[in-house]
Chains A and B, each alone.
Chain A
Amino acid sequence: MKRTHLGEFEELVLLMVLVLEEDAYVMKLKDEIHEQIGRSVAMGALHATLSRLEKKSYLESEMKGATQERGGRRKRVYRLTAAGKAAITKAREVREQLWNQIPPLSLEIRYA
């Protein structure tokens, strides 16, 4: 059973990987997600999601860039594959399609 659609968190992670470009690794992702969205995620949870996405071949990864503040250890940097880019574009299209179908009134009800 292989899902093809993206979960909400998966989508968020894929977008964040794109945003961070060359520097998308777990610690940085956790930090950015906290910074930009205010959501605290455990690094373990992020790792699980990233490896799931990798298994679905939406992501690929590479070990590189040992630095001092990592105690001289390398990090796993993630990058979107073509399939990943396709999936996230698809997700966006689906959403926009749906947004466009909403009659203007049903949004304003909230303020009524």
Chain B
Amino acid sequence: MPNSNPHNPPRLSERLIEWLCKEELVEEILGNLYEYHYLLQTDKSQFPVIKYWFQVLMYLRISTLKNLSSFSPFSIMFRFNLLITFRNLWKNKTHTVLHITGFSLGILCAILLYFHIRGEMRYDSFHADGEEIYRVLRASDINGDPYDIGVTSGPFAPALEQDYPGQIKSAMRVALRERLVAYEEKIFNEAHFTFVDPHFFEFFSFPLMRGDPATVLEQPHSVVITQAMARKYFGADDPIGKVLEVGNSRSFTVTGVMDEWPDKSHLEMDFVASLEVYAQSDWMAGWWWNSLVTYVRIPSLDEAERVEALFPQFMEKYFGDHFKQSGNLIHLKLEPLAETYFNDATRYDPVLHGNRKSTYILGIVAIAILLIACFNYLNLAIAASYQRAKEVGIRKVMGSRPSRLVLQFLGESLTVIAIAVSLAIIGSEIALPYFNEFFGLEVQLDWGDPTIWMFFAMVMAGVVMLSGLYPAYLLSSFKPVQALRGKIFSFGRHLWLRKGLVVIQFVISIFMIISTLLISQQLRFVFEKDLGFDQEAVVLVDANNSEIAENEALFKEQLRANPLVQAMASMTGPPGGFHDATSVKITGREDEFRLRTAFVDEGYVETFGMEMVNGRNFSKDFSTDLNQTAILNETAVRELGWTTENAIGKVLRLPMFDSTDRRVIGVVKDYHFASLKDQIEPLVIALSESSWMYGIKLQGGNLQEGLAAVQGIWETLAPNNPFAYEFMDDTMNHLYAQEQKQRRVFSVFAGMSIFLACLGIFGLVFHAALNRKKEFGIRKVLGARPGQILHLISQEFLLMIGIACLVAIPLTWFFMANWLEAFAYRIALGAYWYLFLAGGIMAMVIALGTITLQALRTARANPVESLRYE
């Protein structure tokens, strides 16, 4: 919410009162509302938001509203027209409710989606001269496919600054880490603890509430925190000067507090500490310790292109020897900051990413909802105008000029739409907290954004024009005698417009239904696809400290001896996690081949339940296994042009790691070691004694006990480090969290658009039945049965749905085929032909259901009711 103090009533309500109420009353009304709001807050009563807004709306009545200079003739006419408008709305209650709720629901969804999408598009947009900032990526390829890496190492930044002095203004290193933070008795594991170069707050424009951007990180042991962290650790105390214990060995003094960020950022940071403390560390000096993100500022685009063109020399200068030895060739490239958030194809990237395609899809959903709402409105307005023929006729007889009539209809339209839009705005304020909570989002409504008002103005102007002008033209142009004689329905030549609108509406509805079904099928396919390894009951434990590293052999031995542990493995990264890429030299081949790597121990294959297609697993019984053997996956074997049979015994070398050759001893069945969105790449698995992570498979059914046992062993061997674990199921869910979230947002709003489409169909049928009431009455008198009348009215709609299907199905096919291309593993559209059929049938069933309900009522009615007014 925009106002920070929860005790203050919503600003919107206060503005509303100030705008609309008499000036002399504003003070007391606002006072009363303020007091009421305060009371609701302190009372903790139910539905405070709804109760409060009820009181606000009830205050808007004739005795409190501003007068419209009451005596001018315009105002009399205006009042009269307004009165007629409200009478008409009241007279046709079903119609009014359909109109207003449908339209405002559509606008409400559009508002929420707009602000959600706007938030996504505005990531990192608040930095001063942000277009100067680039991220440095390392780029290579895996046998033809691009392979960009987000992380770089410590020496890059100073070397870039030094080698391109006139061109690169400054460079910045950001290391995103996890740290254990303690203050007095409060200890938390912080997921967003960041180490940066001291000029960070000048390089980026993250606002500071306390502290000077130029000097805040000058001292080596200084840290800047967010307001939330200040509250979490220090409560109401002044955070400046407080000392935080970080990790087990360092302490940092708080020197600044960050303000709320104007927009979100791809850098998730709760703590920003000076990187100076690691200046002497090995990992900061080594070119191959790729563990941080490097940014540079380059004043112009041309300059950036020139610098990028010079990067091959830069890499040659620092990596030349290594390239020669390993056969690896790595380039550098610059990624503009504005593209960082959506560039989710980079590997090993610790920063936050969004998916551009999904955001666009949501935009399309928003537009579809808006279109459906507008079409509903137009269709209903036009349908309803036929009911007004007599009123218009009498007005004309009494001497009303066409311009007055046009004004009347436009005014009515405007009133209804203004009510609907106001309801949508208030509704979005009410719905926002629930929306954010349900979808796990942090959308903010910003009514100061001119685009949203332009959007309202455009929608209102467009819909008012279309919905008011057509009936105005239609009704004001016909001859009053005809209208009074009831001949209005002979306007056959205008029917194509209405029917066209209905068909378009059905097209959108059918499109939404089919694509919703297909998208959920695809997402289910992705989630339920066999990953090729077993993640059940596997616990991942970080080997991130020297204590456990020293005791590793003992740790493994004790775990493997424990009956609650089924298997365990150490590794560089679990399936779904880190797998480095490297070049291999194959004996007997000249060309270079690139592979992903996994360095593991003997327990790996068993722990994750992988399947050996041929050959054997690593074994402790062969002492040469450690340095002289390797296992390949099926993809690697296939891409090297071998078969699983003849691959065994082939010789290869990993020049980056080894000085001796390795012999292939086994082939493992393909499993998804990276995201399911990517194709499985060639992989080599080798033994290694150094490990970064343990995977421990517990006995099923005894997870809690098993976990406690592992923790017990950890605590005896690494007593000074907290036992940090994660179940692999959770890790995998995390990997696909973004997709899950999108799936949820998409299905809810797609459902909403389907609902609105049904509402529109309902309204149309309602009016179609109403307009032909007399015809049905006469038919009944002449002996028609209800079934025949039903047949008559549904025939027309079935034809329209048929045409809509013909348009919608190819359109959906084209669109979905395009969308599916983003997935490496996707459903075949042809296999799901029945979903296309289902979409059409569903639309038909909904329409027929409504028709049956509505038409039966008309058809069953006593014909006297409909005929007696003649």
Residue numbers of A with Cβ under 8 A of B are 25-27, 30-31, 42-45, 47-48, 51-52, 63, 66, 69-71, 73-76
Contacts and interface: CB of A to CB of B under 8 A. Distances in A.
B38 A43 contact: no
Contacts of A45: 58, 61
Contacts of B33: 43
Given A42-B55, A51-B63, A27 B27 contact: no
A27 B36 contact: yes
Contacts of A74: 27-28, 31
Interface of B: 8, 25, 27-36, 38-39, 54-55, 57-61, 63-64
Contacts of A42: 54-55, 58-59
B63 A43 contact: no
B64 A47 contact: yes
B35 A47 contact: no
Main secondary structure of the interface of B (DSSP, over half): helix
Nearest to A51: B63
13 contacts: A27-B36, A42-B54, A43-B55, A43-B59, A44-B55, A45-B58, A63-B27, A63-B28, A70-B31, A70-B34, A70-B35, A73-B34, A74-B31
| Most chain B CB atoms below 10 A, which of A30, A47, A63, A75 | A47
B63 A75 contact: no
Contact of A27 (B32, B61, B64): B32
Given A63-B28, A75-B28, A44 B35 contact: no
A23 to B, nearest CB: 12
A76 B28 contact: yes
A69 B63 contact: no
A48 B32 contact: no
A44 B61 contact: yes
A25 to B, nearest CB: 7
B30 A47 contact: no
Given A44-B55, A44-B57, A73-B27, 12 more contacts: A26-B32, A27-B35, A30-B36, A42-B58, A43-B58, A44-B58, A44-B64, A63-B27, A63-B28, A66-B31, A69-B35, A76-B28
Contacts of B64: 44, 47-48
B59 A47 contact: yes
Nearest to A48: B63
Contact of B31 (A30, A44, A48, A73): A73
Nearest to A70: B31
| Most chain B CB atoms below 10 A, which of A30, A31, A69 | A69
A70 to B, nearest CB: 4
A97 B34 CA distance: 44
Contacts of A52: 63
A45 B29 CA distance: 12
Nearest to A69: B38
Given A26-B32, A27-B35, A69-B35, A44 B27 contact: no
| Most chain A CB atoms below 10 A, which of B30, B55, B63, B64 | B63
B54 A75 contact: no
A75 B34 CA distance: 11
A70 B7 CA distance: 11
Nearest to B25: A47
Nearest to A61: B28
Contacts of A69: 34-35, 38
A20 to B, nearest CB: 14
B55 A26 contact: no
A39 to B, nearest CB: 14
A75 B356 CA distance: 53
A25 B36 CA distance: 12
Contacts of B61: 44-45, 48
Given A26-B32, A42-B54, A70-B34, A47 B27 contact: no
Contacts of A48: 61, 63-64
Given A48-B61, A51-B63, A69-B38, A43 B32 contact: yes
Contacts of A70: 31-32, 34-35
A76 to B, nearest CB: 4
